[in-house]
Each structure stands twice: as C-alpha cells, then as structure tokens.
C-alpha cells in the first residue's frame, strides 16, 4: 500500500531521501574575513569544457550567500568522511565575521584563481566565480558560477574510478532529523553497471547522410557514439547549408563541434569511450 504524505516545509528533509554530496563552501566577506559552511544543494551545471559551471542553492540570509553576492567568489571543498565532525562544526550558527574553520582541524591554503582559501584536507576542490544569482521569492538564492579551477590531490589523477572512490572516501549526506541529527553514509558496497548499446542501436553502416561527406568528416562521424550519429548528421548538415557548403568537410564538422563546446579533447573522449 502507498500513502500520500502531506507536503510541509522541509519536506525534502523530513520525508524524502536525497543522498547528497557534502561540501564546505569557503568565502570572504567584504572585510576579507573567511567564512565556511557545509552545502549539499549543489550540482554540475554546464558539463562541456567550454563553460564548466556549478549551480548552488543557499538560504538567502546565510553568511555564505551574502558573501558570494558581495564578492562574487567561492570555493567548493569536498571533505572525506574522516572530517565529518569538522564539517558539522562549520554548520553551527556562529555570528557574522567568525571563521568557523578555527574550531576545526582544517588547514586553509591559498586558492589558485580566487581569493577565498581552499581546504588542504579536502581531496577535491572547485574554485568558482559567479555568473548569475537568482533570488527566489521567500526562498533559496540560486548561484550559477563558472569553475575557474578544479584542484585535486595529485595522486588521484591517475587512479581508476573505483580506487579513487575508495581513496577519497567522500561521505554521502543522508539528511537530518528535526535539523539536529545529521545522517551520513560512506561507500561500502560498490556496484558497477556497464551502459552498453540497446539491441536496435544504430550501427556505423546505418548512418544515413543526405549530403556528400568527405573522407575526413566521415571518419569524425564514425567517432561519434552510434546512438548520437543521427542527431549529429542532421545538425552538421544544417550547419553546412547555413555556411553555403555543398560538401560536409572536417572543417564544417569541427566548427560546429567547437560551437557547442566539443573541442578535440572531448571528441577524443567519445572516440576512446573514456
Ligand atoms: C550536511 C549539510 C548540508 C547543508 N546544505 C545546505 C544547503 O545546500 N543549502 C543551505 O542553505 N544550507 C545548507 N546547510 C545548512 C548550512 O550549512 C547552515 O545554515 C550554516 O550555518 C550556514 O553557514 P553560513 O551562514 O556561514 O553560510 C547544510 C548543513 C549541513 C550540515
């Protein structure tokens, strides 16, 4: 049997489970004082390399939000599960101007591209500058920001995902009870699922073109995953017509790919399946 639940304030936490990323956001106030607070309402936004962004949701009267509105900069630090106590310390309602980090074991280090500090103990860090702020009426402040730098512990870069997941040991936020007791999970059992292709996936030979494609452009098309080829053929041919080209060349293909943020690095990632 299912039961409809009355939707009340804090529904997202009282009844609904949202396993979440735990981050500590560091900012500076107008006077240059450091502030830190945990934030989970955070997602990757533009995922192409052309415009890598994050979207973050804040209580509008939080110190972090006010500082971000004033200075336009912040750092997203992801602590490992071994720092959950310190993370919770930064959640306490300290008065304005107090640096919560002084009550923790976190070490502040200079960031590469922005003024607020980064946290040394956090294995993954994103330095951000604000693009747009949306203040929802009587609700959240949404910040859309460009990632200026992604900084990770050196040894993580060459690890496979499974080893990296275990080494970073990022906690999973499981929500609170009455805004007093916060639950967190850690990575225990890890499962892996391979995506694969659907049974009726478009095969290389099924890529029907309506214009002439030169050899080089066709080679590039074959690097696109089969399910995406139909869409890529259509947009590339439209682009060629717009440019008054009668043959789709590698130049047309690359131009269009670039305009949607698919630089050669991304294309290589598609090709290699990496
Ligand atoms: C794990 C965790 C995640 C949180 N995520 C958010 C969030 O995404 N948005 C928000 O407004 N508050 C969130 N909070 C509450 C703020 O961290 C809390 O209000 C804090 O005191 C704000 O600090 P500040 O005023 O220094 O920014 C979260 C708290 C915890 C413990």
Is 128 in contact with 76 (CB distance < 8 Å)?
yes
Nearest residue (CA) to ligand 1, atom 14? 39
Expressed in angstroms and rounded, the spacing between residue 7 Cα and the centre of ligand 1 is: 22
Higher pLDDT, 202 or 175: 175
Choice from 24, 37, 136, 174 to test ligand 1 binding pocket (greatest atom count within 8 A of CB): 37
Q: Is the domain of 158 the same as that of 268?
A: no
d(CA 85, CA 168): 17
For 70-111, give the secondary structure using H, E and C. HHCEEEEEECCHHHHHHHHHCCCCCCCCCCHHHHCCCCEECC
Expressed in angstroms and rounded, the spacing between residue 57 Cα and the centre of ligand 1 is: 10
Domain boundary among 135, 152, 185: 185
pLDDT tens digits, 232-264: 898 899 989 998 999 999 888 888 888 776 766
Domain boundary among 152, 185, 218: 185
**Within 6 Å (CB) of ligand 1, which residues are found?**
22, 35, 37-41, 57-59, 62-64, 91, 93, 173, 182
Question: How many domains are there within the chain?
Answer: 2
Q: Lowest mean pLDDT: which of 18-27, 137-146, 262-271?
A: 262-271
d(CA 46, CA 144): 10
Domain presence at residue 59: yes
Is 170 in contact with 81 (CB distance < 8 Å)?
yes
Q: Is the domain of 27 the same as that of 155?
A: yes
Q: Is the domain of 161 the same as that of 219?
A: no
Domain extent, residue 19, equals 11-185
pLDDT tens digits, 74-90: 999 999 999 999 999 99
Choice from 40, 142, 179, 183 to test ligand 1 binding pocket (greatest atom count within 8 A of CB): 40
Higher pLDDT, 217 or 166: 166
Higher pLDDT, 222 or 185: 185
Q: How confident is the model at residue 46 (pLDDT cuts 50, 70, 90)?
A: confident
pLDDT at 164: 98
pLDDT at 267: 67
Q: Is the domain of 228 the same as that of 108?
A: no
Q: Is the pLDDT of residue 205 over 70?
A: no
Nearest residue (CA) to ligand 1, atom 10? 58
pLDDT at 271: 60
Domain presence at residue 171: yes
Q: Is the domain of 150 the same as that of 258?
A: no
Of ligand 1's listed atoms, the one at least distance from the Cα of 93 is 21
Domain presence at residue 180: yes
């Amino acid at each position: 049997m299912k039961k409809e639940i009355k939707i009340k304030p804090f529904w997202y936490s009282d009844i609904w489970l949202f396993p979440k990323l735990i981050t500590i956001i560091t900012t500076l106030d107008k006077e240059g004082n450091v502030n830190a607070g945990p934030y989970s309402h955070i997602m990757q936004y533009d995922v192409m390399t052309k415009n890598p962004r994050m979207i973050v949701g804040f209580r509008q009267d939080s110190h972090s939000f006010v500082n971000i509105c004033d200075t336009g900069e912040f750092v997203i630090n992801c602590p490992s599960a071994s720092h959950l106590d310190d993370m919770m310390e930064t959640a306490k309602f300290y008065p304005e101007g107090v640096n919560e980090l002084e009550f923790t074991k976190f070490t502040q280090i200079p960031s590469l591209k922005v003024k607020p500090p980064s946290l040394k103990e956090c294995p993954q860090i994103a330095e951000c500058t604000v693009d747009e702020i949306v203040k929802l009426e009587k609700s959240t402040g949404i910040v859309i920001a460009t990632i200026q730098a992604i900084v990770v512990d050196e040894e993580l870069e060459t690890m496979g995902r499974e080893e990296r997941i275990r080494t970073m040991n990022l906690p999973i936020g499981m929500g609170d009870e009455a805004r007093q007791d916060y639950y967190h999970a850690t990575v225990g059992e890890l499962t892996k699922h391979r995506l694969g292709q659907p049974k009726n996936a478009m095969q290389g030979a099924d890529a029907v073109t309506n214009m002439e494609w030169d050899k080089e452009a066709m080679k590039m098309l074959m690097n696109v995953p089969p399910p995406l080829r139909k869409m890529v053929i259509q947009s590339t041919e439209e682009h060629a017509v717009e440019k008054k080209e009668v043959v789709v060349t590698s130049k047309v293909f690359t131009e269009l790919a670039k305009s949607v943020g698919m630089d050669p690095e991304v294309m290589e990632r598609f090709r290699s399946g990496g």
